[in-house]
Structure 1
Amino acid sequence: MHSTHRRALLAGAGFAIIGRGLGSAQAQGRTVIRVGWPTGDGAQDPYAIGARAFKEEAEKLSNNRIEVQLFPNRALGDERPMLDGLRLGTVDMAVITNAVIAQIEPAFQINDMPFLFTDEAAAQRALDGEMGASLAQRLERRGVVSLGYMEGGFRQMVNNVRPIARPADVRGVKFRVLQSPIYVGMYTALGGTAVPMAWGETFTAVQQGTIDGLEIPLAVIDANRYDEVTKYLSLTNHIYSMIGLLMGKRNLDRLPADLRDVVRAAATAATAKQRTASITNARQITEGLRGKGMQVNAVTDPAEFRQAVLPMYESFRGAIGAEIVQQALAASR
């Protein structure tokens, strides 16, 4: 539908329109908040689970004074344009990958540091404590309010050479990585070979033996059928994927005080629900991949891996901030 036509219909239905956005608009006692995210709306998609949970909580807690409209599959734009829209007030709310948030607030790089968190509980402890509060303060100064630190699941290693149980097992193995200094640095520190490669080329490269494996979250391994081209799944938990439930400060501040409180309370409740669902899905997917023939192993001594990559923490300390690094390390012990 043409955007002008859509706005006319919404306005006619009693929803006020402010500027280019529809959200945070008050009309007939109702407020519309539009939430966008980059992935699909599947039952096990972590972004979709979080957005749906927020809609349910916000509408319930506000007695339907708030209507939350959901826009999956980049319908409000790719992640960086959505993030910029939050700052400008043209996008109301979004669920966005940590690495993209780090593009406007470098302190968020802490969440992508390897082997920082041993499990979900450690990550949640840090994000719900001093570290998370410090990150939120820095982000708010950029015009974006962090309403909840949701969970994309840990990234794991899959390959065709050997199970990865200790740092020495990574040596000589060629892993596809994101084009990121953190990911390249991690494999370099462990003695492996990092091969930056576009996602669209990766499956064929593994299939043909150009690379030995890659590192991705469990849901992505399953959805993209990497069990068909890789043998070993090692639950390394090397990077915790945080996804942020974010709202533009401009649009949050436009709300009446009682609805601001509702939005924050709904986000807190939705984050708790989303995290629980993410952990449940991870267990189910792991067992499903095992059932499809993958050889699955857990890492018994994550401290050994962290020790191997500790020099990276020093090299990123300046960009992230010494205080944030210290808070993260303290919470993850």
Structure 2
Amino acid sequence: MKKIFATLLTCAMMLSLAACGGGGTGSGGSGSQSSASQGGDAPAFKMIVGSTVQDDSASGVALLEYFKPYVEEQSGGRIQVEVQNNSVLGGDRELYEALQLNTVQCSFGPMSTLANFEPNYAVCDLPFLFSGKEDAYTQLDGEFGAKLAENLPNIGMRLLAYGENAFRNISNSVRPINTLEDIKGMKIRVMESPVNIATYTALGCNPTPMAFSELYTGLQQGAVEGQDNGVVLTYTAKLYEVQKYYTYTGHIYAANGMVLSEAFWQSLPEDLQQVVDAGAKYAMENQRRLNTEMEEKLAKTMADAGVQFNTLSEDETNRFREAAKSVWEQDGIKSLMDPEIYDMAVAIRDK
């Protein structure tokens, strides 16, 4: 009898302790507030950041060494940031879809891919929209960039800050490009994008859509003669090994950005919204700086390896601009974006 009573007493004590302990802490993995936010040491929010960039790229460093520590420190540990680069969580399109579901809270990706969700971003692929990096920064960080991002909350996303990939320039294995005539008939690999194909057609090239994964072999075997990536990607993908000439044409500015899940944003109190917003801007400011520094360093590395660099003259740049203007007027391209945004873009181009 005493043994039975002791067993019952032990069970009662265990049930009592379980009731006092509650149901444990929430995971926060979907961006929801953790029960630990009521006073424990655990973070109140977990923020997963996904991207396709490499850890040691300018963008990877910006996320890991600028955004993550800034948000964690300035939030007083209330937000835990987990950065997953290297396409661990999927491609750019999959990451934007994950933002809509709030299974990923933030992503860093290209505006050209975001155009699949918000068509107004197709304007970023139009040729010679910006005159240079400083012009791009001013426009994207100002009224124009804000207007582009205006509808994103309605589709489950929010633009925090713009970063960059690069200005697209042309490398090739045939000849230096000093004039518009030098590019005529050249087989240039392009992304499978109507705007990109139309741009190179307008310039008199033979645009050849090809997956990036096939590009090195395509250049090596002569299926295509040139390509149009920025300095950093031309180096990291080793394309310079099969390309002798690199011309700074600056015909398309490839913008990237930090995009947040709108559901996660709305779950944050106002003070933490301000921390995340400021952290994104801080990270992208440094991403642009690091990217520019890397471009300068790697251009020298490629030049030392035998790549010949040159820049179009102002007169020839204007000829390229005029040749590409027809792309802007194509109905199938012009109709992709809101007329107000299109008019703003034209004003930026022609200023």
TM over 0.5: yes
Aligned residues of 2:30 and 2:102 also touching (Cα < 8 A): no
- Asked if residue 26 in structure 1 is aligned to residue 44 in structure 2, the reply is no
The Cα RMSD (Å) is 1.7
- Asked if residue 207 in structure 1 is aligned to residue 215 in structure 2, the reply is no
Which residue number in structure 2 is paired with residue 318 of structure 1? 335
- Kindly tell me: are residues 66 and 178 of structure 1, through their superposed partners in 2, closer, same or farther at Cα, counting changes over 3 Å? same
Shift of 1:198: 2.2
- Partner-residue secondary structure (3-state), 1:216: coil
Which residue number in structure 2 is paired with residue 16 of structure 1? 26
Which residue number in structure 1 is paired with residue 17 of structure 2? none
Shift of 1:233: 0.5
TM-score (norm 2): 0.85
- Structure 1 segments unaligned to the other structure (5+ residues): 1-13
Counterpart pick for 1:95 among 101, 108, 111: 108
- How far apart are the structure 1 equivalents of 2:289 and 2:225? 33
- Asked if residue 117 in structure 1 is aligned to residue 130 in structure 2, the reply is yes
- How far apart are the structure 1 equivalents of 2:298 and 2:36? 45
Q: Aligned pair count?
A: 316
- Asked if residue 39 in structure 1 is aligned to residue 48 in structure 2, the reply is no
| Matched-pair identity in % | 33
Spell out, residue by residue over 1:162-220, the C-alpha distance to the aligned partner (whole angstroms, 9 max, x if none).
Answer: 22233222101111111111111111000010011222322222222222111112111
- How far apart are the structure 2 equivalents of 1:211 and 1:95? 30
- How far apart are the structure 2 equivalents of 1:283 and 1:173? 27
Shift of 1:27: 4.4
- How far apart are the structure 1 equivalents of 2:240 and 2:79? 43
Shift of 1:144: 0.5
Aligned residues of 1:37 and 1:95 also touching (Cα < 8 A): yes
Which residue number in structure 1 is paired with residue 62 of structure 2? 50
TM-score (norm 1): 0.90
With 90-99 and 158-167 compared, the bigger mean Cα shift is at: 158-167
- Partner-residue secondary structure (3-state), 1:320: coil
Looking at CA atoms only, which structure, 1 or 2, has the larger radius of gyration?
2
Which residue number in structure 2 is paired with residue 166 of structure 1? 179
Which amino acid is the alignment partner of residue 276 of structure 1? R
- Kindly tell me: are residues 258 and 231 of structure 1, through their superposed partners in 2, closer, same or farther at Cα, counting changes over 3 Å? same
- Asked if residue 308 in structure 1 is aligned to residue 323 in structure 2, the reply is yes
- Partner-residue secondary structure (3-state), 1:172: coil
Which amino acid is the alignment partner of residue 331 of structure 1? I
Shift of 1:17: 2.4
Aligned residues of 2:31 and 2:267 also touching (Cα < 8 A): no
- Kindly tell me: are residues 143 and 22 of structure 1, through their superposed partners in 2, closer, same or farther at Cα, counting changes over 3 Å? closer
Which amino acid is the alignment partner of residue 318 of structure 1? S
Aligned residues of 1:93 and 1:245 also touching (Cα < 8 A): yes
- How far apart are the structure 1 equivalents of 2:228 and 2:113? 18
Which amino acid is the alignment partner of residue 105 of structure 2? D
Which amino acid is the alignment partner of residue 335 of structure 2? G
Aligned residues of 1:116 and 1:306 also touching (Cα < 8 A): no
Shift of 1:24: 4.7
